[in-house]
Amino acid sequence: MQRSDTQDPAYFHKVVDCQWACPAHTPVPEYIRLIGQGRYDDAYMVNWVSNVFPGVLGRTCDRPCEPACRRGRVEDKNVGEKKPEAVAICRLKRVAADHKSQELRALLPKPLPRNGKKVACVGAGPASLTVARDLATQGYAVTVFDGETKPGGFIRSQIPRFRLPESVIDEECGYILGLGVELRAGRRIESMRALLAEGYDAVFVGCGAPRGRDLQLPGRQEAGERIRIGIDWLASVSFGHVTSVQPRVIVLGGGNTAMDCCRSARRLGASSVTVAVRSGYAQMKASPWEKEDAEHEGIPILDFHVPLAFEHEGGKLTGMRFKKAQTGEEVSIPCDEVLIAVGQENAFPWIERDAGIAFNEHGLPLLDAQSFQSSLPQVFFGGDAAFGPKNIITAVAHGHEAAVSIDRYLHAEPVTKRPPPHVNLLSQKMGIHEWSYDNGITNELRHKVPWAAAEKALASIRVEVELGFDAATAFKEAQRCLNCDVQTVFTDKLCIECDACVDICPMDSISFVENGAEADLRQRLKAPALNLAQDLYVSGTLKTARVMVKDEDVCLHCGLCAERCPTGAWDMQKFLLLTTKAGPACRDTPARAPLAERKVTA
Amino acid sequence: MTYLAKPKLHHPSLAKNRVGYTRRDYEGKVSTLCAGCGHDSVSSAIVQACWQLDIEPHRVAKLSGIGCSSKTPDYFLGASHGFNTVHGRMPSVLTGANLANRGLLYLGISGDGDSASIGLGQFAHAMRRGVRMVYIVENNGVYGLTKGQFSATADRGSVAKKGAVNHDAAIDLVSLALQLGATYVARGFSGDKAQLVPLIEGAIRHGGAAFIDVISPCVAFNNHAGSTRSYDYVREHNEAVSRIDFIDLAPEQTVGADEDLVCVPQHDGSTMRLRRVKPDYDATDRIAAMNQVQALHAAGEIATGLLYVDPEARDLHLGLNTVAWPLNTLGEAELCPGGEVLEKINAGLR
């Protein structure tokens, strides 16, 4: 194999599995370490820079980081008979939000003086608010339009209050509006043409995927009164328009919206709630923990149930008929109300088809996948509006990228060119045996988040179910993090091949072997490297004509290799990657700002 | 020296051997030797060998004297028996233990100071008596604990870290062991575990006095230009006379026809396979082995590998005609067999 190119920013980034998996590339180990040190404000700000809504996401994130977490691969019966579990990354993020101090506002950046450019954002959801935050700090006059009276978009309308209290949304949207972003609440944009005519230098469309899919089956028209589209129903619940449900409810669908619907219905007083899903249980789109939470609340999930018809008597819904996909058998389940949560689709009835924006056959705008620019150069899309429904953290990631595009576009630089991220590798050695990070690995299993008492939680739609970690548990959970951002950096010309690192490595990650093709090399290591998603770190040729090969798969980043190395060929270096945000750093020719204005960063 | 405890987490694919242990179960405490010390690699090789041979840790007694090397038994086989004797006296204490309990596997760990200086007499007698043991000398040619004086195994003409030149002739423990009647004599290098682990395995299964001289560089005081025990020097002057695989009580595997292979059956049914690296080398001929070691030494090379093995090893118990069981298992009936037996013995002496 070729020696690994560690100069490529992606090499060490990929080793930080959680950060690599996060669409917004949040430096996860960095903020977990800060939480472990009790530095909640700093941890919050690390999050705020990357993912903008730490309190919201700490409760509702889809957590792509957790399935990627290395901890979930190294435990396997090492510390108990239970299945290995990732660090509770998402819940730790919430700790930073819950425990931050009043001084946090002082840490938020002050916007640069206005640069005379105006940007409109359509929709006040996570994508738009991210664009607004990134651009407002750089001196842009940003106006956000939304049909609702308060900002947040689907964060506010679709996520039930028992998962996310309104105060958290108010606070975090408030931080953004506090940067001088103008919110035109209650003004739904009805015409793209009219908006463009208002003289904005750029327009960002972050209006989400606001249309829930319907299910046209026999009986749909007749019994329509008791059949609701899930996301509309959730919004009505959130805004208090709906305060009760019928006694027997069926929820159709297997995504997170379906889980929110069933749990909400349970809280609004339904005596029986059933989820019916076409697919198998394992193939359901909902996150595993959301399925668990629903079942924990006594809601059965019937899989392989294909809906056939709504049954009714004179327009009054009486039940639903299903076909069991595996046996072909038909079953009827009595019910009084049905919530349809079988997907969402984008709708742009307000964008005139001759406004210069091209759409594809699915009704989605034609976009450059990296820059999010539409066929009309000054119009950019992001979030669910860009490529269809995903999740909040993806919307945020889109927002950051779109903000960079807009910033470059308005400085007459090509938007397809993306500036590289800022990368830092810094040795953590402080003395002969001292490291600036805590590398003692705890064997504790994942800590459970305490829940409110069931009778209290299920009695109200507004009582938050999860209580979050207290500081002591947060510390213990933070200690489970393996510090994957502290990289094992190998310098081949210093190595004397004494085997000390090989002997001490608790995970058998390091081998000195004759070089070969990757497939062959993976079999010949001290422990076979079978996880192809993880790189082999290959050194240059050593004195004995062998190479050092380290399987990055299950490294604990404990630093024992570096501690044992007599020549300093191994070093533990903290890798910090900051994606390039809108501002001078993202431009080819950064304008030199006057000294007084340079302290602003976001 | 490592201050950090080694995490208990291990690779998910870590296998268990036939007696139910993983390799990690054969480890000891975290080493307090200098970072990069060759002795730690020897400890690691012992761990690997014992795991591969399915040895139960509590069936092992590890004994040592004084010195860096003699500290190492604390760093492997934490669940076995151990005894740090006084300087150079490991062989006699081990001999006594062996006579009292022949059921254990005896591992004597020593250094060049411990065995070639103060303990040279003890070394010689353990070898000539054929005490059944694995005698490992971790040989770095230097007194590391007292900051780098030449030891008795340092080569004449080699240069110390501070520049002093050694004027004394070196004691070659391998040649001594061959001459004294050891029935398994090998030399390994701590920086080459592929060679060292099977050498240790073969020694463990050998039926008599097995001696392994392991060149184990001292990174702190003897790993510089001018040293003949440094990583670089040994790698450049290593002449392996044989390459061995050790197959413990397992069916023999065949190898390519071009390999010049000698199979040496061991007393317990296991097989030692020797492949000649030097075509004219015969590891079952003691005199030839002595000649070869000396010839290579004269040429400035270090002979490594399995240098000599006698599959028909006799051990001390055989010579003394002792009982087949450990002494502490003997009950009153065996120890006081009664007047009739006494009469018989007395009659036999008349």
Confidence check: pLDDT of A590 > 80:
no
Q: Are A413 and A398 in contact (CB under 8 A)?
A: no
Complex ipTM: 0.87
Of the candidates B266, B264, B289, the residue with the CA atom closest to the CA atom of residue B187? B289
Residue A229 pLDDT level (bands cut at 50, 70, 90):
very high
Contacts of B40 in chain A (CB under 8 A): 500, 503-504, 564
Confidence check: pLDDT of A338 > 60:
yes
Mean pLDDT of A505-513: 96
CB-nearest partner of A554 from B1, B12, B217: B12
Q: Are B29 and A464 in contact (CB under 8 A)?
A: no
Mean pLDDT of B180-201: 94
Which pLDDT belongs to residue A592? 54
Contacts of A74 in chain B (CB under 8 A): 9, 12
Question: What's the pLDDT tens digit per position in B65-122?
Answer: 999 999 999 999 999 999 999 999 999 999 999 999 999 999 999 999 999 999 999 9
The first and second tokens of residue A573, run together, are: 């270096």
3 state DSSP class of A183 = strand
- CA dihedral (B283, B284, B285, B289) in degrees, to 10, reads 30
Phi, psi of A106 (to 5 degrees): -70, -20
Question: What's the pLDDT tens digit per position in B1-44?
Answer: 667 788 989 998 889 999 999 999 999 999 999 999 999 999 99
Please compute, for residue A105, the number of CA atoms within 13 A of its CA located in the half-sphere on the CB side.
Answer: 8
Which pLDDT belongs to residue B257? 44
- When mean pLDDT is compared across A338-342, A476-480, B250-254, the lowest value belongs to B250-254
State the average pLDDT for chain A: 92
Confidence check: pLDDT of A599 > 80:
no
Contacts of A563 in chain B (CB under 8 A): 2-4, 35
Residue B311 pLDDT level (bands cut at 50, 70, 90):
confident
C-beta atoms of A564 and B14 within 8 A = no
What percentage of chain A exceeds 90 in pLDDT?
84
CB-nearest partner of A563 from B13, B35, B193: B35
Pick from B4, B138, B216, B235 the residue to mutate for testing the A interface (most A CBs within 10 Å): B4
Question: What's the pLDDT tens digit per position in B146-175?
Answer: 999 999 999 999 999 999 999 999 999 999
The first and second tokens of residue A23, run together, are: 């669409």
CB-nearest partner of B5 from A440, A499, A503: A440
Of the candidates B204, B198, B210, the residue with the CA atom closest to the CA atom of residue B244? B198
* Distance between A78 CA and the closest CA of chain B, angstroms: 6
Contacts of A507 in chain B (CB under 8 A): 9-11
State the average pLDDT for chain B: 90
Confidence check: pLDDT of A514 > 60:
yes
Residues 6 or more apart whose Cβ sits within 8 Å of residue B158:
B141, B150, B165, B166, B226, B227, B228, B229
Confidence check: pLDDT of A35 > 70:
yes
Phi, psi of A488 (to 5 degrees): -90, 105
Question: What's the pLDDT tens digit per position in A418-462?
Answer: 888 989 999 999 987 789 999 888 889 899 999 998 888 888 888
Which pLDDT belongs to residue A602? 41
Going through B94-241 in order, the beta strands assigned E by DSSP cover 105-111, 133-139, 142-143, 149-150, 184-189, 209-215, 238-240
Which pLDDT belongs to residue A527? 93
Task: Name the closest residue on chain A to residue B10, using Cα atoms.
Answer: A507
Contacts of B5 in chain A (CB under 8 A): 440
Pick from A87, A484, A503, A510 the residue to mutate for testing the B interface (most B CBs within 10 Å): A503
Number of A/B CB contacts below 8 angstroms equals: 105
Mean pLDDT of A384-396: 93
3 state DSSP class of A368 = coil
| A387 or B273: which leads in pLDDT | A387
The H or E element containing residue A265 is: helix A256-267
Q: Is the dihedral of CA B246, B248, B252, B254 positive or negative?
A: negative
Which pLDDT belongs to residue B231? 92
Contacts of A499 in chain B (CB under 8 A): 41, 44, 190-191, 193
| B103 in contact with chain A, both atoms CB, cutoff 8 A | no
Which pLDDT belongs to residue A83? 80
| B16 in contact with chain A, both atoms CB, cutoff 8 A | no
Pick from A78, A85, A479, A530 the residue to mutate for testing the B interface (most B CBs within 10 Å): A78
DSSP string, A506-532: TT--EEEE----HHHHHHHSSS----T
What percentage of chain A exceeds 70 in pLDDT?
97
Interface of A with B (CB under 8 A): 73-79, 433, 439-441, 443, 496-500, 502-504, 506-509, 527-528, 530, 543-544, 554, 556, 558-560, 563-567
Question: What's the pLDDT tens digit per position in A41-98?
Answer: 999 999 999 999 999 999 999 999 999 999 999 886 655 567 889 999 999 999 999 9
Mean pLDDT of A396-407: 97
- When mean pLDDT is compared across A290-294, A335-339, A551-555, B75-79, the lowest value belongs to A290-294
Mean pLDDT of A489-509: 95
Three-class SS of A381-399: ECCHHHHCCCCHHHHHHHH
CB-nearest partner of B11 from A496, A508, A559: A508
Q: How far apart are the C-alpha atoms of A479 and B135, rounded to whole Å?
A: 44
Which pLDDT belongs to residue A352? 93
Which pLDDT belongs to residue B1? 61
C-beta atoms of B12 and A76 within 8 A = yes
* Distance between A440 CA and the closest CA of chain B, angstroms: 7
Residue A167 pLDDT level (bands cut at 50, 70, 90):
very high
* Distance between A560 CA and the closest CA of chain B, angstroms: 8
* Distance between A246 CA and the closest CA of chain B, angstroms: 51
- When mean pLDDT is compared across A103-117, A179-193, B149-163, B245-259, the lowest value belongs to B245-259
| B256 in contact with chain A, both atoms CB, cutoff 8 A | no
Which pLDDT belongs to residue A591? 57
C-beta atoms of B235 and A507 within 8 A = no
| CA A440 from centroid of its chain's CA atoms | 29
Confidence check: pLDDT of B259 > 60:
no
Which pLDDT belongs to residue A33? 97
Residue A597 pLDDT level (bands cut at 50, 70, 90):
very low
